Amino acid sequence: MNALFEDDAKLQSWMEVEVALARAHAKLGSMPKEAADEIEKGSKKVELSRVLEIEAEIHHDLMAMVKALTEKCPKYGGFVHYGATSYDIEDTATGLVMKRAISMMRKRLQETRKILRELALAHKKTVCIARTHGQHAVPTTYGMKFALWFTEVERHLVRLNEAETRIAVGKMSGAAGTMATFQGKGREIQELVMKQLSLAPAKVTNQVVQRDRHAEVLFDLALIAATCEKIAKEIRNLQRNEIMEVAEPFGAKQVGSSTMPQKRNPHKSERICSLARLVRGNVAVALENIPLEHERDLTNSANERFIFAESFIVTDYMLSQLNNILSGLQFFPENIERNLALTGGAVMAERIMIELTSRRMGRQEAHELMRTSAREAFAKKQKLIDVLLEKKEVLKLIKKEELAGLFEPKNYIGESVEIVEKAVGKE
């Protein structure tokens, strides 16, 4: 991903567009075929150092490329960049680069999805405590967590595919989008250029391809980054010493702290959470780039040299890190079991309430009975089942020997196994 946004790669993408433009002109008779051949050969000889040297003199990066390419075309150099404006080349090249970057991002996400699917199926029956508002709620499974994230990644893949159709476009329409410089052949030239580059031609532009397209891509990357953070934050919290149900991989020689030798900091997960803020921040900049003045101004140009590359590279890195964490995720079954029992059975209050209701106690009455019983158990530091065994209204409907079975967390995970299998597909 880094290489895709290097200066050498940018220069090559500009060259691809210039060659495609020359080929289109040649096909329509606007320049000799030999001119297009020379431009294509010359494009392979242009060196970045020469382009930067010219740019230092003229202070225009695209025109520096045009001059450098012209130097490599001694006979037909006058046809280089014929009829085009800078952003015909730059925006079309950006469409090329983003299409390729999305393809790379798609592969990363597909890897994430594969890992999450494997984890979901492997842990579809690993019962753990669910937490809402930071409090123990009811039993769930680790398979449910992974399946939830799996489906979120699937939505990101759909969004990326949709965004690709809107960003994989280019223009060859001149200074204000009118195609005047192409002397009546503008639409044909644009169609031919985009066909050669496997891009779609923009239906209408001003001097630039409209920036809602680019903002959409960066927003999708921010959504992916947010999911990475969501997963990483959950791992961080579950790795707390007092919870310690799962943990990110920790090497045998890895150091957690320069002063506290015992530390096992989840720094890789923390890094993901930190970088997500950066990717989200770039969306605001991309949105600001949409309302350019009149047929365009240059206020988008400088920041786009950072936000496009940064958002793709950072999100790609986050996914790479997350995939490594998930692949080596460590589980601590004894702590999972300990935490399930931490509240002395209070997390099964809902189940008892539902059971009492099914046996003809009013739902609100059953709720109040369990609420006050849970408070009593907490105050007396007793198990909830021991408090209920003293309640005649409970024993009237549920036998003592039945009550113990109702307090087994593994028997109260509902349809979670089926939910997981349907969400990710059975093995």
- CATH code for the domain in which residue 101 is found: 1.20.200.10
Instruction: Read off the pLDDT of each residue in 231-247 and give the average, rounded to a whole number.
Output: 97
Per-residue pLDDT band at 45 (split at 50, 70, 90): very high
- Check 60, 103, 198, 257 and give the catalytic one: 257
263: in domain: yes
- The C-alpha atoms of residue 148 and residue 113 are separated, in whole angstroms, by 11
Task: State what percent of residues in the chain have pLDDT above 90.
Answer: 95
Query: Are residue 70 and residue 133 in the same domain, yes or no?
Result: no
The candidate with the shortest Cα–Cα distance to 167, out of 219, 235, 241, is 219
Query: Are residue 283 and residue 311 in the same domain, yes or no?
Result: yes
Query: Are residue 130 and residue 104 in the same domain, yes or no?
Result: yes
Stretch among 146-155, 164-173, 390-399 having the lowest mean pLDDT: 390-399
Per-residue pLDDT band at 168 (split at 50, 70, 90): very high
Instruction: Read off the pLDDT of each residue in 212-216 and give the average, rounded to a whole number.
Output: 98
398: in domain: yes
Structure confidence at residue 426 (pLDDT):
82
Residue ending a domain, choose from 300, 318, 338? 338
Q: Are 332 and 247 in contact (CB under 8 A)?
A: yes
Q: For the residues of 309-325, what is the DSSP string, one character each?
A: HHHHHHHHHHHHHHHHH
176: in domain: no
Structure confidence at residue 83 (pLDDT):
96
Please name every residue paired with 131 in a beta bridge, in sequence order, or none if there are none: 136
Q: Is the pLDDT of residue 228 over 90?
A: yes
Residue ending a domain, choose from 82, 106, 140? 82
- The C-alpha atoms of residue 60 and residue 53 are separated, in whole angstroms, by 11
Whether 257 is catalytic = yes
Structure confidence at residue 207 (pLDDT):
96
Per-residue pLDDT reduced to its tens digit, 286-343: 999 999 999 999 999 999 999 999 999 999 999 999 999 999 999 999 999 999 999 9
The two most distant CA atoms of the chain are separated, in Å, by 103
Which CATH number do you get for residue 356? 1.10.40.30
Query: Are residue 304 and residue 216 in the same domain, yes or no?
Result: yes
Which CATH number do you get for residue 8? 1.10.275.10
- Give residue 45's identity as a one-letter amino acid code: K
Q: Is the pLDDT of residue 253 over 80?
A: no
Instruction: Read off the pLDDT of each residue in 43-64 and give the average, rounded to a whole number.
Output: 97
Query: Are residue 302 and residue 153 in the same domain, yes or no?
Result: yes
How many domains does the chain fold into?
3
Structure confidence at residue 136 (pLDDT):
97
421: in domain: no
Instruction: Read off the pLDDT of each residue in 363-367 and give the average, rounded to a whole number.
Output: 96
Residue ending a domain, choose from 301, 322, 338? 338
Per-residue pLDDT reduced to its tens digit, 102-135: 999 999 999 999 999 999 999 999 999 999 999 9
Q: Are 249 and 329 in contact (CB under 8 A)?
A: yes
Query: Are residue 128 and residue 274 in the same domain, yes or no?
Result: yes
Structure confidence at residue 260 (pLDDT):
77
Query: Are residue 38 and residue 138 in the same domain, yes or no?
Result: no
Q: Is the pLDDT of residue 256 over 80?
A: no
- The C-alpha atoms of residue 81 and residue 130 are separated, in whole angstroms, by 62
Contacts of 181 (CB under 8 A, 6+ apart): 83, 84, 85, 174, 175
CA–CA distances in Å: residue 41 to residues 18, 34, 83, 185: 12, 10, 20, 25
State the residue range of the domain holding 15: 3-82
Structure confidence at residue 262 (pLDDT):
74
Contacts of 222 (CB under 8 A, 6+ apart): 279, 280, 282, 283, 311
- Check 49, 59, 133, 294 and give the catalytic one: 133
Task: State what percent of residues in the chain have pLDDT above 70.
Answer: 99
Alpha-helical runs (H) found in 28-83: 33-43, 48-58, 61-71
424: in domain: no
Per-residue pLDDT reduced to its tens digit, 81-108: 999 999 999 999 999 999 999 999 999 9
201: in domain: no
Query: Are residue 319 and residue 356 in the same domain, yes or no?
Result: no
- 234 CB burial (10 A radius; 0-12, 13-18, 19+): middle
195: in domain: no
Whether 416 is catalytic = no
342: which 2 tokens? 């931490």
Query: Are residue 25 and residue 114 in the same domain, yes or no?
Result: no
264: which 2 tokens? 């096992």
Q: What is the pTM of this model?
A: 0.94
Query: Are residue 126 and residue 220 in the same domain, yes or no?
Result: yes
234: in domain: yes
Q: Higher pLDDT residue, 319 or 253?
A: 319
Query: Are residue 236 and residue 368 in the same domain, yes or no?
Result: no
Query: Are residue 286 and residue 383 in the same domain, yes or no?
Result: no
